[in-house]
Amino acid sequence: MNFKYPEALDAALGIVRDDISSERVKIRGQLPYQLFHYTNTTGLIGILESSRIWATHFSYLNDASEFSYGISLLEEIVNTKIQSTQDPIIVSFLKRTLDRVKNLNGSLEYYISCFCARDDLLSQWRGYTDAGGGFAIGFYATSFDIPKPARDASNNFMVRKVIYEDTEQRRLLEEVIDKTIAVLLDITNGFTQDNAHGSIIACCKFASDEVAEYLTYFKHPVFEAEHEWRLLHMPHDDTGIKFRNGPYGITPYVCLDLRPMAGVHTSILPIESVRHGPTTNAKNTQYSLRKLLNMRSYSQVEIHGTELPIRV
């Protein structure tokens, strides 16, 4: 393999990576005051007692079609570009990138914790309400963006707003592909395909990794009413990975530490409110919830009940 100018290629891809990172921040926009994590009674108690929140491996989320949806978008973009070029270097890059992303699904090392911008959604209550009522835990969202020195690897995460608009999804994927192609063409100017092989492989890895992150927070437009946000965690190694039973059998997950690193409440989670869902006895639910919160040092947390006219 004749891989020329690796330093120049790394530098050029670094500039593209910075551009993409800036775009990710731009499309996410400003964090809402609170983000809400829906859970059942067992989940609520576990979160308050452990000061941790679970993040599940991306491949084991409830909607197994998420990754295949993103792949279908990428496949359409790549096939269109292949049909519009006769450059063997670009064709090789496009085919390799698509194949690599397709093969990432089971090995995509992102762990996801799901949040919502709304705390009283019927669709969420239907998913989480049990005999005692589901709960929407309201976290002070801007605390997620405060830089956190490494207490341990479990507080290393990114905050992403789920993107539902397919036009925007296509634009972002095309941006990654087009900017990477521009670098590849520049760095391999005058090369044969054989001489360009190393550059093709490097660009393929770069583009597929950037595309893969986008696919962890792309969802079909039909789910737009969920108003979902996600915390994305990439473990450095397998040390903190745990396993539980889930809809797809043995399910890997990690425990994220969302506690602030400074201030008067460093030992507790940045919880602002808890809303309970439909329940057979709202008075008892609120009594036990207040008792639980007080005993776990969350006496300042506001409690609300669902305002939806539904019963269990």
Under a CB-based contact definition with an 8 Å cutoff, are residues 246 and 60 in contact?
Answer: yes
Considering all CA atoms of the chain, what is the largest pairwise distance in Å, rounded to the nearest integer? Answer: 76
With respect to residue 311, please indicate whether it lies within any of the assigned structural domains.
no
Q: Residue 163: its pLDDT value, please?
A: 97
The verdict on residue 235 lying in a domain is yes
Q: Would residue 129 count as lying in a domain?
A: yes
Which two structure tokens, joined as six digits, stand for 3? 């891989």
pTM for the full predicted model: 0.92
Closest listed residue to residue 233, CA positions, set 148, 140, 166: 148
**93 lies in some domain:** yes
The dihedral formed by the CA atoms of 222, 224, 229 and 233, expressed in degrees to the nearest 10 = 20
The token pair at 137 is 């835990």
Region class of 91: left (phi > 0), else alpha (psi between -120 and 50), else beta = alpha
> What pLDDT sits at residue 1?
38
> Residue 312 falls within a domain, yes or no?
no
pLDDT score of 248: 85
What total number of domains does the chain contain? 1
pLDDT at 132: 59
pLDDT in tens, the chain (312 residues): 345 568 999 999 999 999 999 999 999 999 999 999 999 999 999 999 999 999 999 989 877 678 899 999 999 999 999 999 999 999 999 999 999 999 986 678 999 999 999 999 998 998 876 655 799 999 999 888 865 555 455 567 999 999 999 999 999 999 999 999 999 999 999 999 999 999 999 999 999 999 999 999 999 999 999 999 999 999 988 999 999 998 889 999 999 999 886 565 678 999 999 999 998 889 999 999 999 999 999 999 999 999 988 665
pLDDT at res. 131 = 59
Residue 59 forms part of a structural domain: yes
CA-based nearest residue to 248, from 54, 39, 42, 64: 64
pLDDT for residue 64? 63
At 62 the pLDDT is 74
Q: Which residues span the domain enclosing 217?
A: 6-305
CA angle 32, 37, 38 (to 5 degrees): 135
> Are the CB atoms for 163 and 170 separated by under 8 Å?
no
Does residue 35 belong to any structural domain of this protein?
yes
**In a domain? residue 31:** yes
Q: What per-residue confidence (pLDDT) applies to 147?
A: 58
- The reported pLDDT for the residue numbered 263 is 60
Quote the CA–CA distance of 69 and 215 in Å, as a whole number.
9
The CA–CA distances, whole Å, from 97 to 27, 173, 205, 208, 256 equal: 24, 12, 7, 6, 31
